[in-house]
Amino acid sequence: MKIINICGARPNFMKIAPLMAAYKSYPQIQPILVHTGQHYDEKMSDLFFRQLKIPAPDLNLEVGSASHAVQTARIMEKFEPIVLEHKPDYVLVVGDVNSTIACALVASKLGVRVIHVKAGLRSFDRTMPEEINRILTDSISDLLFVSERSGIENLRREGVPEDRMFFVGNVMIDTLMSHIETARTLDVLTAYRLEPRGFGLVTMHRPANVDAPEKFRSILQALGQISQTIPLLFAIHPRTRKNIETFGLGDILTRYPGIRLVEPFGYLEFLNLMSNAAVVLTDSGGMQEETTILGTPCLTLRENTERPATISHGTNRLVMPDGAAILKAWQELQNSPPCTSLKPDLWDGRAAGRIVKYIVEHFEKR
Ligand code: UD1
C-alpha cells in the first residue's frame, strides 16, 4: 500500500510529522514523502524536519516562491510525473496551502484517491487564498479527516457523503503533546531578558494584514502602544519583514523599542515562548489551536476564524485588525480573569493513529 505524502510550507510540517511516525506501526504501508519546496529557508523548513524528526523527503520539487498561479502550476507540473511513476494508492495532503490544492488536483485527475487531513475548516471568507484551497481540496478528496466538529457540519452542508468524513481530532496537537516537555526544558527567555508571563508574542503574515500599508501601519502602532506596558517579541515572517521595508514602516519600530523584531524560531523554541507568554497576538491558524491547549490567551487579528472551537473551547478571541480594536481588546484582556480552556474534543495527542487506522481499513475494504 503506497501513500504519497505532501508537505510544502511551514505549517504543514507539524501536521505531517505524527503521520509519518504513525505509519511505522503498519509494515504494509510504504510512505513516500514529497516536499514541494514552497518554503525553503533553513528557518522555515529544514529546522522543522530536524526538530520534529521527520524523515528526509524522498523527493523535493524545489518550486520556491512565486505568484499563486505560478507556484500552484509549478507544483502540479512537477508532481504529475511523480504520481505517474510511483502509481500510489493514495495521495495525502494536509492543511490549506498552495501545495495542498496543487497535489490534490494532480492526484484526482489521475484517478488516485486523495486524503485530506484537517478537512472541513471554513472561514467563509473567500478573499483568503487558504479558503479557496480548502473548499477545492475538500471537494475532490475521497477521505476527509476533520479536526473539530464544525468541520463535519461544514462538509455536510457542502454535500460530502457521510462515509467519506471522519472526526479524528487534531494532528497539530499530537505534535504539540509529544514535544512540549522537551520544549519546556529549553531556556529561550534569558537571551531576550524576558520573564515567564511577562511578555507578549507576536506573529503576522496574512496578506490581508501585511500587504495593505495603512492597515499594517495601524496594527504596528497599536503593538507599539502595547509594548509600552509589556515587551513584545515579534517573530517576523519573511514576507512581513519585506513589507516593513517596502512600506517604510521602520520608523514605528524605532519609536517603540519595546517591540523586538526577531527571526522566525524553530518549533521547540516557539512552543516554549507560546507556553510562557502572557498573551499571543497573531493572524496564524495553527497558533490559535496551540494556545488553546497551552492555556495562553490569544488575540487573533482577523475578522473571522475557520477554527471556532478555539473560541468556544479555548483561549482565543477574534479582534478586528485595526489599531483601536487591538488596544481595546488588550485593555479588556488585562481586566479579565485568567483564561480557562475546555479543550476541544479529541485534541488528545492521538489523531494520527486514528487517521492511519481508518486509511488501512479503507484500503482493505476496496
Ligand atoms: C504560506 C501559506 C499560508 C501559511 C503560511 C505560513 C499559501 C497560499 N499560503 O503563506 O497559508 O499560513 O505559508 O508561513 O500557501 N519566503 C521566504 N522564505 C521561505 C518562504 C517564503 O523568504 O522559505 C518569502 C518569499 O518572499 C515569498 C513570501 O515569503 O514570496 C511568501 O511565501 P508563500 O509561501 O508564497 O506564502 P506565505 O505568506 O508564507
pLDDT digits (tens, 9 = 90+) for 282-299: 999 999 999 999 999 999
Q: Which atom of ligand 1 is nearest to the CA of 71?
A: 35
pLDDT at 31: 98
pLDDT bracket for residue 67 (50, 70, 90): very high
CB atoms within 10 A of CB 182: 12
Distance between Cα 9 and ligand 1 center (Å): 7
Q: Which atom of ligand 1 is nearest to the CA of 100?
A: 15
Does the beta carbon of 15 lie inside 6 Å of ligand 1?
A: no
Task: Tell me which residues are annotated as active site.
Answer: 205
Give pLDDT tens digits for 203-243.
Answer: 999 999 999 999 999 999 999 999 999 999 999 999 999 99
Does the beta carbon of 358 lie inside 6 Å of ligand 1?
A: no
In sequence order, which ranges of 162-317 are alpha helices (DSSP H)?
Answer: 171-185, 207-210, 213-226, 238-246, 250-255, 267-276, 286-294, 309-312
Q: Which atom of ligand 1 is nearest to the CA of 39?
A: 23
Distance between Cα 181 and ligand 1 center (Å): 29
Strand ranges inside the chain, DSSP E: 2-7, 30-35, 59-60, 90-94, 113-119, 143-146, 165-167, 200-202, 232-235, 259-262, 279-282, 298-300, 316-318
Report pTM: 0.97
Does the beta carbon of 238 lie inside 6 Å of ligand 1?
A: yes
Q: Which atom of ligand 1 is nearest to the CA of 97?
A: 15
> How many helices, marked H, and strands, marked E, lie in the chain?
16, 13
Give pLDDT tens digits for 3-40.
Answer: 999 999 999 999 999 999 999 999 999 999 999 999 99
What is the average pLDDT value for the chain, to the nearest integer? Answer: 97
Pocket residue to mutate for ligand 1, from 96, 239, 241, most atoms within 8 A of Cβ: 239
Pocket residue to mutate for ligand 1, from 65, 131, 172, 263, most atoms within 8 A of Cβ: 65
Give pLDDT tens digits for 121-168.
Answer: 999 999 999 999 999 999 999 999 999 999 999 999 999 999 999 999
**What's the CA gap between 258 and 5, in Å, rounded?**
42
Does the beta carbon of 44 lie inside 6 Å of ligand 1?
A: yes
